[in-house]
Chain A
Amino acid sequence: MNEVTKIDGIGSSVRRTEDKKFLTGKGKYTDDINRPGQVQAYFLRSDVAHAKIKKIDVKDAQSAPGVVGVFTGDDIAADKVGGPICGWVVPCRDGSATKEPPHPLLAQGKVRFVGDAIAVVLAETAEQAKSGAELIEVDYEELSPVVDFENAGEGAQIHDEVPNNCYFDWELGDEKATADALSSAKKIVKLRVRNNRLVPNAMEPRCALAEFDNLDDSYTLHTTSQNPHLTRLVLAAFMFAIPESKLRVIAPDVGGGFGSKIYVYIEEAVCVWASKKVGRPVKWTADRTQAFLTDCHGRDHVNDVQLGLDENNKIVGLRVDTVCNLGAYLSAFSVVVPTYLHGTLLSGQYDIPAIYTNVKGMATNTVNVDAYRGAGRPEATYLLERTMETAAREVGMDPAEFRRINFIPKGAFPYQTQVALQYDIGDYEPHLDKAMEMIDYSNFEKRRAEAAKRGMYRGIGISSYIEACGLAPSAVVGALGGRVGQWESASVRVNPTGTISVFTGSHSHGQGHATTFAQIVADKLGIPMENVEVVHGDTDKTPFGMGSYGSRSLASGGSAISKAVDKIINKSKKIAAHLLEASEDDIDFKDGKFVVGGTDKEKAFGEIALAAYVPHNYPLETLEPGLEENAFYDPTNFVYPSGTHIAEVEVDPATGVVQVVDWAACDDFGNLVNPMIVEGQVHGGIAQGIGQALLEDAHYDENGQLLTASYMDYCMPRADDLPSFKVGYTTTPSTVNDLGVKGCGEAGAIASPPALINAVIDALSPLGVTDMSMPATPQKVWKAIQDSQSVAAE
């Protein structure tokens, strides 16, 4: 890379250029946008989890003050509008396909979770719409709710199309080889772990503003989306059967997504439909309660693990049987998250000769479960790293050494796992060593003893994780049941004065793309990054792209930008060769200048740009004027970030309170474009992981009522729950892309929960505690201590 541009090029911790507007309250979110004549939508939602709808009476609502229209599922069905689609399906063990029940935009005949939308009321104001909805009478015939997903197979059938409430029963790996390995193992470590259910809680609730233009029969939708082009594709091609060109989707500033804003939800589709129906713009903004009830939740697995070891404590085989809760309807990626984004990660950083996994995806009367920061990889990492620590304890080895002897050795890359993935590159011992050094692992027992003098139990826990991100090689995705491509696009426009406009198919909703992407362009072209603007989030402006999720924006979106810039440089060399009267082969591009090798003849990048747009002296017979290039980048493989996180905790035995006292994170993200932004992503990810491990738990009661439907009961991590993080890196550049980058957005949330729970168990191990489920709340930890003491007393 260009040395001279290090000030703001690749590898520099440039301050985020987009933050001024956010920090001064000037961001422009969907709810900030209003259109003349708009009406407000309010959705009447089911307050029971499972029921037949016998009758809906909307008469009184229709004549309520300010009400413009009241519509139910029948009105939408009459217009033949389809429901949300599942973007990825998997085959079942018995050869059958994933069961895909219909998901009507508004309930038809049945409601399937508390929050299921029954009717929409449109009124002049949001309060009038809500008042109108209060006048709708719904006559239910209540059915037995299915909440416990482990036993959902015995519950009342939720969909006619889904026997035994099982959407799919999928497997991966060699069952016989794994059984043989386990039967010949010297020791089998067994563990049952639960991955608690989480509510995504993006700071900005979902919002949609749809407008129909009857002059050209087209729609414009402003919405809170992580991927406006996919939203347009799904709405236009699958739900409304209109040409994409008749729908413009704009996702302006979006206040966080964490996966929950990947999918097309029913609300934005209803707004689009209703905007034509009533001939006025339709706006809907979720309040926090609706966000809790209707945003797709995350995680919710139970995993039974068997890990076989030989006489040298080397792993010989791994079997994982998983049951997961997918909720009332299939969501866009709900099938792939617990299967190909989970089962394929079960080898972790370890050389495991035989692996088999079976996953059953169950329907329940709870809101849909789909991707949440990490999406499948946190669940895989949690079960594996909990098992590794348990195994080490059971065989009496130091958990770090037990991992070390089982790591895939540095020389074994590319490494073919037994669960489909091929890791291109990695080197695991250095980040384990560095994390141990950062946290002063060797002196831990002194700290434990010192804490004991204060009456506190101190513990340390390790998590060595791997993840697959940078979604994704399209051919692989297609072969595994994906219904979309996973490439990314970029368009790079050089303006006549040499400034650059980058149009990306990625979408930034907090990640800092405006800064990171500008750094890539500035670095490659040797120009100041202030000269680079990044445009995203509008299907009318940006090339078709797949959006942001799965830590793909830099590895895939950044690579597309890099490729487009390479095309710019190649064309610029031709122009420079003409202007400098030299052969193109003799032109070197360095530090923003095109130089004839071995001479002092040069042209600055800006001069080339001007020549391209004012082609008075220009090779027009062989070269088009202008300077603008597109690129589509389809990766040849996933990228594989890895790392080791070590948590240190102190437990107060009198209250059960777990205090996270230290944290070392050493990650290998390949090359870093902006280390400050990367560190921020690591901090945020760990904070979310600590939230999952200690605080957060979405809890439905046996009737399917969400008991944790507000911040009064759903506990989010706060600053005082977090320690000061020690963050470090090792670097093995990815071989998959030219930038050598991997992904950093989800790693913290993937790595941290098992490190923390392992530390809690380690702290309590002197008391005989060997297990702890998430979240390790004060009450639960206190109870575990009480139970261990009563066992000891017996």
Chain B
Amino acid sequence: MYSTKYVKPNSTTEALEAIKSLGDGKFLAGGMTLIPTLKQRLASPDGLVDLSGCKLDSIAEEGETLKIGAMARHVSVAESAVVKKVIPALAKLADGIGDRQVRNRGTIGGSVANNDPSACYPSAVLALKATIHTNNRSIAADDFFTGMFETALEDDEIIESISFSKPTKANYVKFPNPASRYAMVGVFVAQFGDEVRVAVTGAGEGGVFRHQEMESVLSSNFSADSLSSVNIDSDGLISDLHASAEYRANLIKEMTKRAVV
């Protein structure tokens, strides 16, 4: 990597000041994407602002929501008693990300801000009607993800926490890419009384998306069998070395079936 500056502020306020003073600086959350990118010399920021000192890693039940700090590591979410009690599917998702090393470093805020089309967390954010709280506003999940690696975040805007709505029932099932073990298709199904939300990651050319047809079918009949008649359109799905769009379409339906239990 090219040499660069590194600062570790103690609050988001200090972090915002630091990023302004750097010119072209980058926030460093878990660094699971940024650090490899730097090592490959694919990026050369003027400096890194490490958010790990900003006290953004709390996890708490708040009324009808579960609020997770942006810097909570995947391992913390996976092992949190609160998460396991309130939304066990979210703990399961976190426990299946990457490998032990990635789970020890990677953060929920970093994953959501990066919006990698194969990341697991965006599907949970979307399906669980989450609200993304930044240093200056709150953004609904449906407005947050705007495209592959694209979000509604402004430059120099920091995610501080994410509030997930408590579902009646939820589940996440992914089919990992055999090599990278990122989601080749990951489906998060969440039921809120009569409403069912189905969010798909790993498959869309535009990143994570909700599947309206499956949502409406499951809203009227929450069963795997009810999905048999659903046709998953392969248009707009990613086609690569590991999975054609048609195969991904098949996996979306199959993973959704497996998530509906």
Option from B2, B175, B178 in Cβ contact (under 8 Å) with A695: B178
The answer to whether residues A707 and B241 also contact, given A713-B180, A779-B247, A782-B250 and a CB cut-off of 8 A, is: yes
Q: With A and B bound together, what is the CA distance between A778 and B178 in angstroms?
A: 9
A777-B242 in contact (CB<8A):
yes
Q: What is the bound-complex CA distance between A713 and B244, given in angstroms?
A: 15
Decide yes or no whether B179 CB sits under 8 A from chain A: yes
From the candidates A130, A711, A778, name the one contacting B180 in the complex (CB within 8 A). Answer: A711
Q: Known interface pairs A655-B175, A655-B251, A655-B254. Does A779 touch B180 (Cβ–Cβ under 8 Å)?
A: no
The interface residues of chain A lying within 8 Å CB-to-CB of B242 are 713, 777, 779
B104 to chain A, nearest CB (A): 19
Q: Helix, strand, loop or mixed for chain A's interface? A: loop
A708 to B240, CA, bound (A): 12
The answer to whether A712 and B241 have CB atoms under 8 Å apart is no
C-beta contact mask, B234-261 vs A, less than 8 Å → 1, else 0? Answer: 0000000111100100110010000000
Q: A346: shortest Cβ distance to chain B, in Å?
A: 32
- Interface centre among A655, A713, A779, A783, by most chain B C-beta atoms within 10 angstroms, is A779
Asked if A712 contacts B179 (CB within 8 A), the reply is: yes
- Which residue of chain A is the closest to B118 with respect to CB atoms? A712
Residues 760 to 785 of chain A near chain B (Cβ within 8 Å): 777-779, 782-783
User: In the bound complex, how far is the Cα of B150 from the Cα of A670, in angstroms?
Assistant: 62
Known pairs A777-B178, A778-B178, A779-B247; A699 contacts B241 (CB<8 A): yes
Report which of A131, A654, A713, A783 forms a contact with B179, defined as CB distance below 8 A.
Answer: A713
Q: Is the Cβ of A783 less than 8 Å from the Cβ of B178?
A: no
Chain A residues whose CB sits within 8 angstroms of the CB of B251 once the complex forms: 655
A712-B180 in contact given A707-B241, A777-B242 (Cβ < 8 Å): yes
Of the residues B1, B3, B243, B254, contact of A779 by C-beta under 8 Å: B243
A782-B241 in contact (CB<8A): no
Chain B proximity mask over A711-745: 1 for CB below 8 Å, otherwise 0: 11111100000000000000000000000000000
Number of interface residues of A (CB under 8 A): 21
Closest Cβ neighbor of B181 among chain A residues = A718
Q: How far is the CA of A654 from the CA of B178 in the complex (A)?
A: 16
In the complex, chain A residues 646-694 whose Cβ is within 8 Å of any chain B Cβ? 654-656
Main secondary structure of the interface of B (DSSP, over half): loop
Bound-complex Cα distance A537 to B7 (A): 46
On whether A711 and B179 interact (CB within 8 A), knowing A699-B241, A779-B244, the answer reads yes
Residues on the A chain within 8 Å of B180, using CB:
711-713
Known A-B contacts A655-B254, A778-B178; A713 and B241 likewise in contact (beta carbons under 8 Å)? yes
Interface residues of A in 337-360 (CB under 8 A from B): none
Cβ of B247: which chain A residues have Cβ within 8 Å of it?
Answer: 656, 778-779, 782-783
Taking CB atoms, residues of chain B closer than 8 Å to A711 are 179-180
Query: What 0/1 readout, one digit per residue, does chain B (1-45) give for beta carbons within 8 Å of chain A?
Result: 111000000000000000000000000000000000000010000
- In the complex, what distance in Å separates the CA atom of A777 from the CA atom of B244? 12
| Residues of chain A in range 489-543 having any CB-CB distance to chain B below 8 Å | none
Give A127 to B41 CA distance when docked, in angstroms: 10
Specify which chain B residues have a CB less than 8 angstroms from the CB of A695 in the assembled complex: 178-179
Whole-angstrom distance between the alpha carbons of A695 and B242 in the complex?
10
Which A residue's beta carbon lies closest to that of B242?
A779
Alpha-carbon separation in the docked complex, A783 to B248 (Å): 12
CB contacts under 8 Å to A, within B168-219, are: 175, 178-180, 182
Of B1, B178, B241, the most chain A CB neighbours within 10 A belong to: B178
Known: A654-B254, A779-B247. A715 touches B178 (CB 8 A): yes
Which residue of the partner chain B has the closest CB to A707?
B241
Q: Can you name the residue of chain B whose Cβ is closest to the Cβ of A694?
A: B178
- Contacts of A131 on B, CB cut-off 8 Å? 2
Residues of B within 8 A of A708 (CB): 179, 241
Q: How far is the CB of A175 from chain B (nearest CB, A)?
A: 40
Task: Give bound CA distance, A715 to B204, whole Å.
Answer: 22
Task: Kindly supply a per-residue 1/0 record for chain B positions 87-112, scoring 1 wherever the CB is within 8 Å of any chain A CB and 0 otherwise.
Answer: 00000000000000000000000000
Which of A654, A695, A783 gathers the greatest number of chain B CB atoms within 10 Å?
Answer: A654
Q: How far is the CB of A767 from chain B (nearest CB, A)?
A: 16
Cα of A131 to Cα of B182 in the assembled complex, Å:
32
Chain B hits for A716, CB < 8 A: 179
**CB contact between A715 and one of B2, B3, B179, B182 (< 8 Å): that residue:** B179
Q: Mark A392-424, 1 if CB is under 8 A from B, else 0.
A: 000000000000000000000000000000000
CA distance A75 to B254 in the complex (A): 60
Distance to closest chain B CB from A121 (angstroms):
15
- Nearest CB of chain B from residue A793's CB, rounded to whole Å: 17
Residues of A close to B1: CB separation below 8 A: 127
The distance from the CB of B34 to the nearest CB of chain A, in whole angstroms, is: 16
User: A699 vs B241: C-alpha distance in the bound complex, in angstroms?
Assistant: 9
Chain A neighbourhood of B3, CB < 8 A: 127
Which B residue sits closest to A696, measured CB to CB?
B179
Which B residue sits closest to A716, measured CB to CB?
Answer: B179
B179: chain A residues at CB < 8 Å are 695, 708, 711-716
Interface positions of A from 75 to 133, Cβ below 8 Å from B: 127, 130-131
A-side contacts of B175, CB under 8 Å = 655, 778
Q: How far is the CA of A783 from the CA of B175 in the complex (A)?
A: 16
List the B side residues contacting A655 at CB < 8 Å.
Answer: 175, 250-251, 254
A712 surroundings in chain B (CB, below 8 A): 179-180, 182
**Bound state CA distance, A652 and B251, in angstroms?**
12
Q: Report the minimum CB–CB distance from A573 to chain B (whole Å).
A: 59
Q: What's the nearest-Cβ distance from chain A to residue B252, in Å?
A: 12
Q: How far is the CB of B145 from chain A (nearest CB, A)?
A: 22
**In the assembled complex, how far is the CB of residue B167 from the closest CB belonging to chain A, in whole angstroms?**
26
Residue in A closest to B39 when the chains form the complex, CB atoms: A287
What's the Cα separation between A172 and B1 when bound, in Å? Answer: 53
Question: How distant is A124 from chain B, measured CB to nearest CB, in Å?
Answer: 14
Q: Which residue of B lies closest to A711 (CB)?
A: B179
Determine how close the nearest CB of chain B comes to the CB of A205; give it in whole angstroms.
15
Q: How far is the CA of A777 from the CA of B176 in the complex (A)?
A: 12
Of all chain B residues, the one with the shortest Cβ separation from A701 is B241
Centre residue among B41, B241, B244 by max chain A CB count within 10 A: B241
Which of B182, B247, B251 gathers the greatest number of chain A CB atoms within 10 Å? B247
Assembled-state Cα–Cα distance A654/B228 (Å): 12
Cα-based distance from A21 to B247 in the complex (angstroms) = 46
A354 to B14, CA, bound (A): 82
The residue of chain B having its C-beta at the shortest distance from the C-beta of A656 within the complex is: B247
Interchain nearest-CB distance for A704 vs B (Å): 16
Nearest chain B CB to A54's CB is how many angstroms away? Answer: 26
CA distance A779 to B179 in the complex (A): 13
User: Which A residues are in CB contact (< 8 Å) with B254?
Assistant: 654-655
Using CB atoms, name the residue of chain B closest to A782.
B247
Give, as a whole number of angstroms, the nearest-CB distance from B101 to chain A.
Answer: 13
13 residue pairs bridging A and B, Cβ less than 8 Å apart = A131-B2, A655-B175, A655-B254, A656-B247, A695-B179, A699-B241, A708-B241, A712-B179, A713-B179, A713-B180, A715-B179, A782-B250, A783-B244
Given contacts A654-B254, A655-B175, 12 further A-B contacts (CB under 8 A): A127-B2, A130-B41, A131-B2, A655-B251, A656-B247, A699-B241, A708-B179, A708-B241, A712-B180, A713-B241, A778-B175, A778-B247
3 residue pairs, one from A and one from B, having the closest CB atoms: A715-B179, A712-B180, A715-B178
